[in-house]
Amino acid sequence: MVRRGVSGGLSATSYAVLGLLWNAPEPLSAVELRTRANFTLRFFYWAPAVSHIRKELLRLESLELVTAEEVRLGRVRTTLVHRITPRGDEVLREWVASLPDDDPVVLKHPVILRVWLGGATDSTRLAEILDQHLARTEQVIDQLQWGQQRARESGIDAMPDSRHRRAVSGYVLRSYYAELANVRQLRDEIADRGTQARPAAAGPPPLRDQAAWSAGSDPHAGRSER
């Protein structure tokens, strides 16, 4: 088994590229792999740049885990397409079945980092940044829902090997909905709203003056009884 941390070892991104090829019925170019990563991996891992994918493919080819074949595009242009080898299939299956204790989950959230450093700006600007992040998150949710609908309409969901991809899609969608709720609450916590008028939906104010009670006085003192 090819292990991380040894000479010629693989990173998680290498396995992601192997996985994209493993899921594909036909050989793919680096550009096609990037496109597929944009439709799948970016929602829960990341979508490597084409240059990064090409470097990973060279490494995988040197380890005989993928093959490379030059194909013609039109009359002049050519490109390299890649296919996973039986050895690559074996290595991928071993990695999937292994315990991921050496692959910690790392959260890098540049928006939350800005909020953490919020003392360097004003709350109004931070609220604008969070509003922009909320709008982007809603767009991602729309894209995920569109992809799920297309998978149902095209029959992809009915394929025998679609169960795990469908489950991950549901997990990712729930994660983005949770992100919406979490960031909205965060925005409310840091927003400098000031004192606002009592909303009409809240009904009439309390009958007793709480400030007067806390000061030790009776707001009804001196009121005559009938």
Mean pLDDT for each 10-residue chunk of the chain (226 residues)? 49 93 92 92 90 95 95 84 96 87 80 91 91 95 90 78 86 95 93 66 65 55 51
Instruction: Please answer whether residues 39 and 105 qualify as being in contact, where contact means their C-beta atoms are separated by less than 8 angstroms.
Output: no
Structural contact between residues 190 and 127, judged by C-beta atoms closer than 8 angstroms: yes
Positive or negative CA dihedral for 185, 187, 193, 196?
A: negative
CB contact burial 101-139 (16+ within 10 A = b; e otherwise): eeeeeeeeeebeebbeeeeeeeeeebbebbeebbeebee
Which amino acid, residue 172? V
- CA pair distance 191, 209, nearest whole angstrom: 28
Verdict on whether the full-model pTM lies above 0.75: no
Alpha carbons 184 and 189: distance in angstroms, whole number: 9
Q: What is the DSSP string of 22-80?
A: HH-SS-B-HHHHHHHHHHTGGGTS----HHHHHHHHHHHHHTTSEEEEEEEETTTEEEE
pLDDT at position 214: 57
Structure tokens at 120: 């360097």
pLDDT of residue 63: 95
State the pLDDT at residue 152.
84
Residue 6 confidence (pLDDT): 34
Burial class (CB in 10 A: 0-12, 13-18, 19+), 60: buried
Distance CA 202, CA 213 (A): 22
pLDDT of residue 1: 45
